């Protein structure tokens, strides 16, 4: 059945004022998510929040939706307020030994550079493979030895759009006995990220970009292998497996449940979670494969427009940049200034590390991409 994409666009009021091609910075929040937050607070007023335990049941329904998005099980899914906090759970939860290593890529998102470097005081070495236009998976995997405890990469590079072969890296990490940690904040919902397919042990996804959620709403996948290796580092009233029995807390030493929720901590960001549930409803109504296909179509059109404007898309230089984060260098042009000129024409894009970065999502259309081309020609 043909999909009425105009009805999808009507969920995003920002499109009435902007040609919005900047989901790699912030994803616009759909109207249904705003309404879900309003309904949550209305319900709290009506019930005096006396039914708060039921909010956790609602959160568990969203947990199941997030699991379906990445072909996982609900017990493998938890909620997180940011990818940085999720990464801290990994970094602090592992029993590091002097001589251990973390393998990542040059040019990674700052979280993924800072966290390994701060482990130097414990004798842990940060090892980086080339991650720019010279990315070579063989060069990266050649650094994967028995000393590497964690392999840490983004699903998509925030600056260049690099799309590393996650399945290949995950398989190699598992064979080497290392945990494979994927920051999917860039790319979740835009590209397929099945947990088993990419053989990830941990997936972190802050929802404020491609998942189109408010900041502070995100989820993580932590598979059984990771849960065996990582101790929970946040202690709260929900640490004991019988935490729902609120009339009989204070159990002594808590018995931890073997599920990802045990890493979350205490009270959840319920407004953000209900918003996430509304967004995931929209993705499920459209269908994952249809969303992935639409994003791929618009990304290809964007590369055509950038070429026509004199840009050199990263995807023309290396096969590893076939990505919804579409980037291009413009010889003899200041891409920072170019991004500002686009903004003056009500087109939202960005400049990162010498690239003009355009990030179309499923709510965009061909007219948006044509408007980008027209603006580039006039700049």
- Residue 127's pLDDT band, with cuts at 50, 70 and 90, is very high
Question: At which residue do the structure tokens 């493998």 appear?
Answer: 76
Tokens for 45, please give them: 């007023």
d(CA 321, CA 159): 11
d(CA 374, CA 170): 41
The neighbour count for residue 234, using CB atoms within 10 Å, is 16
Q: What is the mean pLDDT of residues 227-242?
A: 91
pLDDT at 219: 98
Parse the chain into domains and list their residue ranges.
5-21+288-378, 39-284
Would you say residue 298 has pLDDT above 80? Answer: yes
- The residues facing 355 across adjacent strands are 352
Would you say residue 99 has pLDDT above 80? Answer: yes
Q: What is the mean pLDDT of residues 210-229?
A: 97
Q: Are 335 and 89 in contact (CB under 8 A)?
A: no
Q: What percentage of the chain exceeds 90 in pLDDT?
A: 90
d(CA 345, CA 266): 45
What pTM value is reported for the model? 0.96
Written as one string, the DSSP assignment of 185-220 is TTTBTTB---HHHHT-SEEEEETTSTT---TT-EEE
- Predicted confidence (pLDDT) per residue in 303-316, tens digit: 999 999 999 999 99
Q: What is the dihedral of CA 153, 180, 262, 270, to 10 degrees?
A: 30
Q: What is the mean pLDDT of residues 224-250?
A: 89
Q: What is the mean pLDDT of residues 142-146?
A: 96
Detail the DSSP E strand segments found in the chain: 19-20, 77-80, 101-105, 125-129, 148-154, 179-183, 202-206, 218-222, 312-313, 326-329, 347-348, 350-352, 355-358
Max CA pair span of the chain: 69
The CATH topology of domain 39-284 is 3.40.640
- Predicted confidence (pLDDT) per residue in 360-376, tens digit: 999 999 999 999 999 99
Task: Kindly report the CATH number that applies to the domain delimited by 5-21+288-378.
Answer: 3.90.1150.10
pLDDT at 1: 60
Closest CA to 164 of 107, 119, 117: 107
pLDDT at 366: 97
- Predicted confidence (pLDDT) per residue in 40-52, tens digit: 999 999 999 999 9
Q: What are phi and psi of 215, to 5 degrees?
A: -55, 145
Strand order in the sheet with 355-358: 312-313, 326-329, 355-358, 350-352
Tokens for 137, please give them: 């998976």
Q: Are strands 326-329 and 312-313 parallel, antiparallel or unpaired?
A: antiparallel
> Higher model confidence: residue 239 or residue 277?
277
Mean of all residue pLDDT scores within the chain: 96
- Predicted confidence (pLDDT) per residue in 166-205, tens digit: 999 999 999 999 999 999 999 999 999 999 999 999 999 9
Q: What is the mean pLDDT of residues 325-342?
A: 96
For the ranges 122-136, 216-230, 232-246, 302-316, the lowest mean pLDDT is seen at 232-246
- Residue 6's pLDDT band, with cuts at 50, 70 and 90, is confident
Angle between helices 366-378 and 335-344 (to 10 degrees): 120
Closest CA to 199 of 211, 183, 181: 181
- Predicted confidence (pLDDT) per residue in 10-28, tens digit: 999 999 999 999 999 999 9
pLDDT at 243: 86
């Amino acid at each position: 059945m043909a999909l009425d994409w105009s009805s999808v666009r009507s969920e995003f009021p920002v499109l009435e004022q902007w040609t919005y091609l900047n989901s790699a910075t912030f994803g616009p929040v759909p109207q249904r998510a705003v309404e879900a937050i309003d309904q949550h607070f209305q319900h709290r007023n009506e019930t005096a929040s006396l039914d708060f335990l039921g909010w956790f049941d609602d959160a568990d329904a969203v947990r199941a939706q997030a699991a379906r998005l990445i072909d996982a099980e609900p017990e493998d899914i938890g909620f997180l307020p940011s990818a940085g906090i999720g990464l801290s759970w990994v970094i602090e939860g592992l029993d590091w030994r002097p001589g251990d290593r973390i393998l990542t890529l040059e040019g990674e998102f700052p979280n993924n550079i800072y966290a390994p470097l701060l482990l130097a005081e414990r004798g842990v070495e940060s090892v980086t493979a080339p991650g720019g236009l010279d990315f070579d998976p063989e060069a990266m995997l050649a650094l994967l030895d028995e000393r590497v405890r964690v392999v840490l990469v983004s699903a998509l590079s925030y600056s260049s759009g690099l799309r590393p072969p996650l399945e290949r890296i995950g398989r190699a990490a598992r064979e080497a006995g290392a945990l494979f940690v994927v920051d999917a904040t860039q790319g979740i919902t835009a590209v397929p990220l099945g947990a088993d397919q990419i053989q990830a042990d941990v997936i972190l996804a802050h929802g404020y970009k491609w998942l189109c959620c408010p900041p502070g709403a995100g989820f993580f996948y932590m598979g059984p292998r990771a849960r065996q290796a990582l101790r929970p580092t946040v202690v709260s009233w929900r640490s004991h497996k019988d935490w729902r029995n609120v009339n009989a807390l204070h159990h002594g030493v808590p018995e931890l449940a073997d599920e990802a929720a045990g890493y979350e901590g205490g009270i959840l960001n319920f407004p953000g979670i209900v918003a996430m549930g509304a967004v995931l409803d929209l993705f499920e109504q459209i269908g994952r494969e249809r969303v992935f296909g639409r994003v791929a179509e618009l990304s290809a059109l964007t590369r055509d427009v950038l070429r026509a404007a004199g840009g050199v898309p990263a995807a023309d230089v290396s096969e590893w940049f076939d990505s919804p984060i579409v980037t291009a260098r413009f010889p003899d042009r200041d891409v920072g200034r170019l991004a500002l000129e686009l903004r003056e024409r009500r087109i939202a894009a960005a400049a990162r590390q010498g690239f003009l970065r355009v990030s179309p999502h499923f709510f965009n259309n061909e007219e948006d991409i044509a408007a980008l081309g027209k603006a580039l020609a006039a700049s």
